[in-house]
Amino acid sequence: MIRIVTLGPKNTYSDVATQIYCSLQEHQYNIVYARSITNVLDMMDNNQAELAVLPIENLSEGYISVVLDHFIKSKLYIKKEILLPIKFSLISNKKNPVDIKKLFVQFVAKGQCSKFIDSMDAKIELVLTESNIESLNLFLKNRGNSAAIVPTYAINDDEFNLKINNINDFKNNQTRFLVLTKENNIDIISPDIDYKTTIIVIDDNDYPGFLGNILSSFSKRKINLTSINSRPTKGDFGKYYFLIDLDGHMMEENIKAAINEINSKHNMKNLGSYIKAKLHK
């Protein structure tokens, strides 16, 4: 059976994305739950799984840097992206939020619910967790005067004395997840499907116009870029990796030509082409 590792325990948003991916494939999968995003990535590096599903970008919080940085140092490819709506609720057994003394919240969820958390008593002890279901489980173990921020789907309406819905800063909150593989298997492309391609350019030979030249390889071929991220090489100030997402498939002639041009002059990696996700309702 194909092993697919994701952020656990069962029922995290990453697990929901994993279930969606598995339901769309013909194969049988064995879902393995890791206890942190770093553990998911380590398990891929150590051949403990063939596929991984991880969050990469949140609508308001932006990119998850631990995942971006891993692309630079490891050999992983992108097979699919999945876009999920994200909704958080606060739960507690204290009826009145004033009586809450401790709050369990996942580290990415904290940023997505920052306005709500800021409106709570500043003396509340925040306990950062690795996943939203870890927040729920820690709360269930502690209860008393604690509370947790959890995915709204993970709880029933009348399970707790206090439940406040829609506590994410943005109503339209969404997260983009990636299905990652160790091999860059190029799928057959269809003209009616929109694709994206991701590359990394490594700035190990900096010169004036370095980024401009890379961008012009795309702009002169009318290729649309959907995001550019720079991440520090962590060796020196002023040295960066550039992660670039673009519209289209690497097998399209203009994209192939742009990538070949960049590859002939720079150190780069092609992380693959995949179907552009639509929001999963």
Using CB under 6 A as the criterion, which residues of the chain lie in contact with ligand PPY when the complex forms?
7, 12-14, 55, 86, 106, 108-109, 131-132, 175
Instruction: Specify the residue, 132 or 198, whose C-beta has the smaller distance to ligand PPY.
Output: 132
Strands 29-34 and 2-7: parallel
Minimum gap (Å) between residue 193 Cβ and ligand PPY = 26
Of 109 and 246, which CB lies nearer to ligand PPY in the complex structure?
Answer: 109
| Closer by beta carbon to ligand PPY, 83 or else 189 | 83
CB of 153 to ligand PPY, least distance (A): 10
- Give the shortest CB-143-to-ligand PPY separation in angstroms: 20
Instruction: Return the C-alpha torsion angle 63, 205, 211, 237, nearest 10.
Output: 50
Pull the structure tokens for residue 140: 């269930």
- Give, in order, the Cα–Cα distances in Å from 169 to each of 113, 115, 126, 137, 174: 5, 6, 18, 24, 11
Query: Radius of gyration over alpha carbons of the chain, in Å?
Result: 21
Kindly give, in sequence order, each residue whose CB lies less than 8 Å from that of residue 127, ignoring residues fewer than 6 positions away.
Answer: 102, 103, 104, 105, 138
Question: Residue 12 or residue 146: which is nearer to ligand PPY going by CB?
Answer: 12
Residue number, 13 or 139, with CB nearest to ligand PPY: 13
Report in angstroms how near the CB of residue 270 gets to ligand PPY at its nearest: 26
CA separation for the pair 236, 152 (Å, rounded): 43
Burial zone of 177 (CB within 10 Å; 0-12 exposed, 13-18 middle, 19+ buried): buried
Residue 124 or 128: the one with the smaller Cβ distance to ligand PPY is: 128
Euclidean distance between CA atoms 227 and 244, whole angstroms: 6
Q: How far is the CB of 173 from ligand PPY (least distance, A)?
A: 8
Strands of the 125-129 sheet, one edge to the other: 125-129, 102-106, 146-151, 88-92, 162-164
State in angstroms the smallest separation of the CB of 111 from ligand PPY. Answer: 9
Distance CA 204, CA 123 (A): 47
